[in-house]
């Protein structure tokens, strides 16, 4: 069965089994409803950060604990390598290091 032009266009004609058309956009035609109460909260009155800081702490801990074994060992090894190099450089440029490994500049 093909819809009539009134149904396709959203016009206000008598259509359907009982001769009623619901209406166009936003106008559903029927009786006004009474006794129905609905409550809502405006978007500007909502708390968009409700629980965000609590969730951020636990999410950060979860992500940190899952990645720490991939990141920490190379950082620790790099720290000890740089620390050894700095101490070795200080020793080689000290009086004792020059006396042990250096040559006379005469």
Strands (E) across the chain are located at none
How many Cα atoms sit within 13 Å of 39 on the Cβ side?
0
Domain membership of residue 3 (yes or no) is: no
1: helix, strand or coil: coil
63 occurs within a structural domain: yes
Whether 27 maps to a domain, the answer reads no
Q: What is the domain count for the chain?
A: 1
CB-CB contact of 14 with 21 (8 Å): yes
Q: Judge whether 64 lies within some domain.
A: yes
Of residues 64 and 27, the one with the higher pLDDT is 64
- What is the pLDDT, as a whole number, of residue 47? 85
- Tell me which of 33 and 34 has the higher pLDDT: 34
Rounded CA Rg of the chain: 40
15 Ramachandran zone, left/alpha/beta (phi>0; psi -120 to 50): beta
Q: What is the pTM of this model?
A: 0.46
Q: In this structure, what token pair is assigned to residue 103?
A: 């040559």
Residue 92 lies in a domain: yes
CA neighbours within 13 Å on the CB side: how many for 23? 7
DSSP 50: T
In-domain check, residue 26? no
Q: Is the dihedral of CA 83, 85, 88, 89 positive or negative?
A: negative
* Confidence at residue 70, expressed as pLDDT on a 0 to 100 scale: 96
- Which residues span the domain enclosing 68? 49-106
88 within a domain of the structure (yes/no): yes
Residue 40 included in any domain: no
The confidence score (pLDDT) of residue 31 equals 62
pLDDT bin (cut points 50, 70, 90) of residue 45 is confident
**Higher-pLDDT residue of 15, 80:** 80
Residue 74 predicted with pLDDT over 90: yes
């Amino acid at each position: 069965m093909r819809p009539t032009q009134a149904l396709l266009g959203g016009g206000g004609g008598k259509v359907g089994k009982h001769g009623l058309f619901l209406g166009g956009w936003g106008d559903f035609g029927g009786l006004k409803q009474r006794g129905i109460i609905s409550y809502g909260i405006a978007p500007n009155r909502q708390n968009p950060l409700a629980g965000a800081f609590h969730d951020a702490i636990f999410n950060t801990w979860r992500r940190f604990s899952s990645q720490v074994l991939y990141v920490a060992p190379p950082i620790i090894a790099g720290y000890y390598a740089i620390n050894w190099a700095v101490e070795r450089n200080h020793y080689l440029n000290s009086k004792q290091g020059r006396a042990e490994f250096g040559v006379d500049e005469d």
